[in-house]
């Protein structure tokens, strides 16, 4: 959430962010309400001062035996007026906050302006094998032939977009999760096993609500939401708290399943594991001091890269342009891996700095020093990394002419020393 004072002083900056991010938000309505809200605050303070003066006058008149009925009547009028203004002020506060929650974060100055086609190439790693010597198959064919992926039976159980992994497919998924958690733990990330559902306040705190309600699964009876990412429960661990400076930076990691309705994406990338409604992910979350957050962003990117390098997967890094940037992020890097069977780059990680946008919504602060005024922290998160596209790329890039799948060396200990997936 943007600071109200910032909006008041920089309305054109906010309007530009709305346009550049292809978002919606009514800055003028917010400013009009805010102006009235400030006027009411001023009037209430003046009325309270007048009431206090009148109360002193009443006490003095009573001590001197004078008739204070007129002054008492005026005090009652002032109290009634103050009460009415307080009700109006409370209603305005709710309206202003509602408008604030719909304003996107301001993109960092280094973020390119434009749409997806304007995403900026940062770097790449690894070599794409453009001539493997045999025809590469897509992962859905490989998975079916090896008996490790069943799209049809998954759909029978739940619906389309809920794949079923079997045998070595299920083992590989769990092996990758354990490997990634071990890797990040070595770099100082503390393990968290959070709930897989979150309440409306938590969803609002990280920016999923109110904007993206149609993209999530909602259990209406209990007003709980299936989490679209571990970012939601992990970030909200410290909602409403003031952290000590000595605690920071805080690095947390969590494995969770993620649930996304993908509304509006019907018919797009629906084959196999490319676009699903449920997938597993290891998420990294950082709580840091504001002055260090962009250094921390680069370190978080490097941490996600470690996973892909260890798995021997060629990848590239892009800085997302404003129109491709999420509602809450100030800057984001996407990591895309090469999948030889579908001949495409597949996004498996987004690494983002939200600055104090989420912290304001969730009211997460820290005290810089003893006796100092609390400040909002900066939050960051990054996929470290997301399945199921990771599995898709490993199957496609690891396939051999004999139809077996070669596993990267780093994952074999998690598979009992197994080198190949085969019939």
Q: Which of 358, 65, 83, 77 is nearest to 201 (CA)?
A: 358
185 given a catalytic annotation: no
3-state per-residue secondary structure call for 193-255: CCCCEEEHHHHHHHCCCCCCHHHCCEECCCCEEECCCCHHHHHHHHCCCEEEHHHCCEEEEEE
Of the residues 293, 326, 349, 350, only one is catalytic, namely 350
Q: Which two tokens stand for residue 66?
A: 């004078």
CA dihedral 101, 103, 105, 106 (to 10 degrees): -150
127 given a catalytic annotation: no
For 272, list phi and psi in degrees, rounded to 5: 60, -130
293 given a catalytic annotation: no
Place of tokens 């497919």: 169
Pairwise CA distance, residues 363 & 371, whole Å: 19
Under 8 Å between Cβ of 323 and 21: yes
- CA-to-CA dists, residue 252 to 52, 176, 352, angstroms: 52, 18, 15
List 137's β-bridge partners, or say none: none
Of the residues 51, 231, 275, 326, only one is catalytic, namely 275
50 given a catalytic annotation: no
Under 8 Å between Cβ of 358 and 205: yes
Of the residues 296, 336, 389, 396, only one is catalytic, namely 389
140 CB-near residues (< 8 Å, 6+ apart): 149, 151, 271, 272, 273
275 given a catalytic annotation: yes
Of the residues 74, 347, 406, 412, only one is catalytic, namely 347
Positions marked active-site: 260, 275, 347, 350, 389
């Amino acid at each position: 959430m943007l600071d109200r004072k910032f909006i008041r002083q920089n309305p054109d900056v906010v309007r530009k962010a709305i346009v550049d991010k292809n978002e919606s938000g009514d800055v003028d309505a917010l400013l009009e309400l805010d102006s009235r809200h400030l006027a009411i605050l001023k009037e209430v303070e003046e009325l309270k001062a007048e009431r206090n003066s009148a109360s002193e006058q009443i006490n003095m008149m009573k001590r001197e035996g004078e008739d204070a009925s007129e002054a008492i009547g005026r005090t009652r009028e002032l109290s009634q007026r103050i009460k009415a203004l307080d009700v109006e002020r409370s209603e305005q506060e709710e309206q202003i906050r509602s408008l604030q929650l719909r304003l996107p974060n301001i993109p960092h100055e280094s973020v390119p302006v434009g749409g997806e086609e304007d995403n900026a190439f940062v770097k790449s790693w690894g070599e794409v094998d453009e001539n493997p010597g045999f025809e590469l198959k897509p992962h859905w064919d490989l998975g079916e032939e090896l008996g490790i992926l069943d799209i049809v039976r998954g759909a029978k159980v739940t619906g389309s977009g809920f794949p079923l992994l079997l045998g070595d497919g299920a083992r590989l998924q769990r092996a990758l999760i354990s490997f990634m958690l071990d890797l990040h733990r070595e770099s100082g990330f503390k393990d968290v096993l959070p709930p897989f559902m979150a309440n409306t306040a938590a969803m609002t705190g990280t920016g999923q609500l109110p904007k993206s309600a149609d993209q999530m699964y909602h259990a209406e009876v209990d007003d709980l939401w299936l989490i679209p990412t571990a970012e939601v429960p992990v970030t909200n661990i410290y909602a409403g708290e003031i952290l000590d400076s000595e605690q920071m930076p805080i690095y947390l990691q969590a494995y969770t399943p993620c649930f996304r309705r993908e509304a509006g994406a019907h018919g797009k990338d629906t084959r196999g594991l490319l676009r699903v409604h449920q997938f597993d992910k290891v998420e990294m979350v950082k709580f840091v001091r504001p002055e260090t957050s962009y250094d921390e962003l680069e370190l978080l990117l490097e941490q996600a890269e470690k996973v892909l390098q260890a798995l021997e997967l060629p990848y590239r890094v892009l800085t997302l342009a404003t129109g491709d940037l999420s509602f809450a992020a100030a800057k984001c890097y996407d990591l895309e891996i090469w999948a030889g069977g579908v001949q495409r780059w597949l996004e498996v990680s987004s690494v983002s700095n939200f600055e104090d946008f989420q912290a304001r919504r969730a009211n997460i602060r820290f005290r810089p020093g003893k006796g100092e005024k609390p400040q909002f922290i900066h939050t960051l998160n990054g996929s470290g990394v997301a399945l199921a596209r990771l599995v898709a790329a490993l199957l496609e890039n690891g396939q051999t002419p004999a139809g077996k799948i070669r596993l990267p060396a780093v994952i074999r200990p998690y598979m009992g020393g197994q080198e190949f997936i085969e019939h």
